[in-house]
A and B are shown apart, each in its own frame.
Chain A
Amino acid sequence: MTSTTTFEKHRESAQTRSSVALTINGQRHELTLDNRTTLLDALREHLNLTGSKKGCDHGQCGACTVFIDGQRVNACLTLAVMHQDDEITTIEGVGGVEHLDPMQQAFIDHDAFQCGYCTPGQICSAKATLEEIRAGIPSHVTKELTGPIELSDEEIRERMSGNLCRCGAYANILEAIRQVAKERA
């Protein structure tokens, strides 16, 4: 028997679904999912949390950016079943119409979007960008690895490079982030 047919036999007979409890925006959800379900599909297709967007599904655009245990990640490139007991925060948990996060308000103030598709991911990344600078995590453009990190446009641009915007709202996104950075300073 070739290994390929052994694999196919295994797929037919093995358990290919799993139970997982996901904690999303502070709420616990018990789910039984096909093991293939990405965190992004679990959010959008199973929990009706459609704020996180699917742009490329391959880690190339950042539209699916969410926080896992406080760190931004691409929800399209991780399996839901791997996140039992992790704290997941999506754009819905960042803020909503009744209680806008300052970064959401800044995006509105600066027209930092056109179609809005990339926006939830941009806002999550924008918040993470300021956090990561504050935490002293260097980037590709940081001049001195062991020195303080300047909150420059160049730093913000580099740290936002994992989020693409087809509408090209980049200049206004930068303005929005600068506003929040200034409010905090």
Chain B
Amino acid sequence: MKAFSFERAIDAAQAAKRAFEMPGSKFIAGGTNLLDLMKHEIEVPPHLIDVTHIGLDEITATDDGGLRIGALVSNTALGADERIRRDYPVLSRALFAGASSQLRNKASTGGNLLQRTRCPYFFDPKMPCNKREPGAGCAALDEGADTRQLGVIGTSDHCIATHPSDMAVALRVLDAEVETIDPEGRTRRLTLDEFYLLPDDTPEVENALSPGEIITAVVLPAPVGGTQRYFKVRDRASYAFALVSVALIEQENGEGRVALGGVAPRPWRRDDADAELANGATAVMAKLLDGARPTPDNAYKLVLAERTLAALLAKE
């Protein structure tokens, strides 16, 4: 790990200002992704800003019947919250499907959204990776590369990595928004499709945050009801990242919403695919995965996504 200076921020606005003043600095919340990457020297911040004492660790009701989840609420606290369990069960399910109890106790809502890809070449400093080193090339696109875990849609000729978060897939299906504050003290709200950027020719730019801008909360709209499910397919029964995951909200009348994890650089959802829900999994996937560009090693994800959705729709 490279040496760094360290400070503890007192509130979000001050943290944003300090981050802007110290180029290259990083916020640290749970540390479960950042420290992992710093040990590999994939992240080499010269300065860390500890945001674990800025408050923002509560879940509060909003005026329009939804919930505001502070950026520092832990994954355990969020998944176990009674209101989330009752009104947004897909979110609880997604959280408990991720990582381990120890990690969830530390992992924060903001940090979970900003965790980086698990692409094996991103983790291997000896291999070229456009995300780590813009312009270096992408080892995953080389002949014979291991792409089994990588993306099938939304990818580009410069990067085919996926976003690994389970939580974000549930937030996408719930139409959650990310709330931020920038170094000037301005706040804004972004949908997840505005927040997460597709790689195109700049895979190193993963989100819409400006320098110093910090996540303060995630806002859930009023509950939408329905039957909510999260199904994660992985290589072992627990403590592994998704190969494919499906977040589903199904209403009595057959309408609903679907988002996919493990297939794209961000949680993957399309309105025109949601509209096909009453027509079954094949019809949904024809829209949702339209334009997919799988590799021979990960084309199985297209089949797996469809079968997973079909299995969920067949459940009582």
Binding site for B on A (CB under 8 A): 3, 6-8, 10-11, 14-16, 18, 34-36, 38, 57-59, 62, 65, 71-74, 77-79, 81-82, 125, 128-129, 132, 136-140, 142, 145-146, 157-159, 161-163
Contacts and interface: CB of A to CB of B under 8 A. Distances in A.
Interface stretch (B24-32, B62-70, B189-197, B258-266): B24-32
B86 interface: yes
B275 interface: no
Contact of A14 (B1, B5, B28, B44): B5
B28 A136 contact: no
B47 A14 contact: yes
Interface residues of B, number: 43
Contacts of B50: 81-82
B106 A139 contact: no
Contact of A10 (B6, B47, B92): B47
A65 B97 CA distance: 20
A131 B239 CA distance: 20
A10 B93 contact: no
A18 B48 CA distance: 12
Interface string B22-51: 011000101110011001000011111010
Nearest to A8: B46
A148 B239 CA distance: 23
A129 B39 CA distance: 29
A174 to B, nearest CB: 14
Given A6-B24, A10-B47, A77-B35, A162 B100 contact: yes
25 contacts: A3-B24, A6-B46, A7-B44, A10-B47, A11-B3, A11-B46, A16-B4, A16-B5, A35-B48, A57-B39, A62-B100, A72-B101, A73-B102, A73-B106, A74-B103, A77-B36, A79-B35, A82-B50, A142-B96, A145-B85, A161-B237, A161-B239, A162-B99, A162-B100, A162-B102
A79 B100 contact: no
Interface string B44-62: 1111101010000000000
Mostly, the A contact residues are mixed
Interface string B267-296: 000000000000000000000000000000
Given A77-B36, A158-B237, 8 more contacts: A7-B45, A10-B24, A18-B6, A35-B4, A36-B1, A73-B102, A82-B28, A161-B238
B2 interface: yes
B202 to A, nearest CB: 16
B46 A7 contact: yes
Mostly, the B contact residues are mixed
Contact of B106 (A58, A74, A136): A74
B92 A125 contact: no
Contacts, number: 128
Contacts of A140: 93, 96-97, 238
Contacts of B162: none
Contact of B3 (A36, A57, A137, A142): A36
Given A11-B46, A78-B31, A82-B52, A125 B102 contact: yes
A72 B35 contact: no
A66 B1 CA distance: 23
Most buried by A among B3, B80, B85: B3
B79 interface: yes
Contacts of A7: 24, 44-46
A11 B4 CA distance: 6
A58 B101 contact: no
A163 B101 CA distance: 10
A58 B97 CA distance: 19
B24 to A, nearest CB: 5
A177 B172 CA distance: 38
A8 B36 CA distance: 21
Contacts of A81: 6, 50
B164 interface: no
Contacts of A132: 101
Contact of B5 (A35, A142, A161): A35
B1 to A, nearest CB: 5
Nearest to A142: B96
Contact of A137 (B5, B76, B100, B103): B76
A146 B85 contact: yes
B105 interface: yes
